[in-house]
Amino acid sequence: MIADSLAAGWITSCGLLLVVAGAGKAYASARRRQGGDAIRRVLRLRRARWRAVSAAAAVAECCVGAAVCASPGPLRAYAASSYAVSSYTVPACAAMAALGAMFCALLAYARLRRVQGGCGCLGWGGDRQAVTARSVVRAGLLACAGLLGAVSPAIFHHELRPLPFAAALVAGLAIIAALSTGRIAGLGPRSPACRRPLWRARAVTAAALADSGVFQAMAAAAGPFGPESHRRDGCVDEFVFPRVGGLGQGVLFRVTHTGRRGIAVHATVITGDVAATS
């Protein structure tokens, strides 16, 4: 059936995401790269224990993702043959749903509480990818795909059609790639002069700022931050993040839209007496 083939392709794309994410975490751990500080702070773990947790998560993601991708339906879709569901398909999908729900809850909490640091979701980029709405949506896709495979095992009983399966697989991977690289936030009309977004300008600029290395470095050094205030001056957006505790009043980020070259970020630490520029 076409619907079953589409569902199987989507589930397989999410399984591939788990494999890539697990491999990325394993690679980062092997290279001794720090990542996932936001999640580490949510769980209140020290760095030494966090490395062990991250390594265990990498193994779990690789195993679950590989089991989902190797389930009978997706594995032999191009052979267009019909066969029974294996004993590990439903448990693998259930495990993917559990992982996705757990990731979604942790990321949503970190974003809601404005916990500073990267999510370390994919591992390859270390801590450069901040916790954004895209991260939460991506985890939600994992949970939904796993739940669908767990509660509807009949998907893999039927003969899968190669073209719908391939279309759903490619579409799922494209959506995941867009959510992982932030391309969705960059779409839409822009001003002709400095290429500033015209639709949801503040949200899009804030997301670009959160992904920048300057913001991540300042958040690690001067954070945590409270809710920000915003002001626009032509092609420049100014965000003031008050500091929660410690010395100083906050950090001012000036985000300058430089046309097709993207954005330039300048950070100023605001203290009680002087402003130290970084």
Number of residues that make up the chain:
278
Mean pLDDT confidence for 17-45: 80
218-222, 232-236, 265-269, range with the lowest pLDDT: 218-222
Residue 193 lies in a domain: no
Cα angle value 255/181/49 (rounded, 5°): 95
User: In this structure, are 173 and 216 located in the same domain?
Assistant: no
9-13, 209-213, 254-258, range with the lowest pLDDT: 209-213
User: In this structure, are 102 and 66 located in the same domain?
Assistant: yes
User: In this structure, are 48 and 155 located in the same domain?
Assistant: yes
- Nearest by Cα to 138 from 174, 81, 180: 180
Report pLDDT for 80.
40
User: In this structure, are 63 and 177 located in the same domain?
Assistant: yes
The answer to whether residue 102 scores a pLDDT higher than 90 is yes
Mean pLDDT confidence for 16-44: 81
The answer to whether residue 179 scores a pLDDT higher than 60 is yes
User: In this structure, are 22 and 150 located in the same domain?
Assistant: yes
Mean pLDDT confidence for 51-80: 74
Domain boundary among 147, 182, 217: 182
- pLDDT-based confidence at residue 96 (cuts at 50, 70, 90): very high
* Domain hosting residue 229, numbered range: 201-277
User: In this structure, are 143 and 249 located in the same domain?
Assistant: no
pTM given for the model: 0.64
User: In this structure, are 122 and 246 located in the same domain?
Assistant: no
Sign of the C-alpha dihedral computed for residues 176, 178, 184 and 188 taken in this order: negative
Residue 196 lies in a domain: no
Percent pLDDT > 90 in the chain is 9
User: In this structure, are 78 and 210 located in the same domain?
Assistant: no
Mean pLDDT confidence for 67-95: 63
pLDDT per residue over 71-82, tens digit each?
Answer: 655 444 444 443
For the chain, give the mean pLDDT: 77
Highest mean pLDDT among 53-57, 160-164, 187-191, 221-225: 53-57
Q: Is 240 exposed, middle or buried (0-12, 13-18, 19+ CB in 10 A)?
A: middle
Domain count, the chain: 2
User: In this structure, are 129 and 208 located in the same domain?
Assistant: no
Domain boundary among 152, 182, 212: 182
Tokens found for residue 271: 């203290």
Residue 192 lies in a domain: no
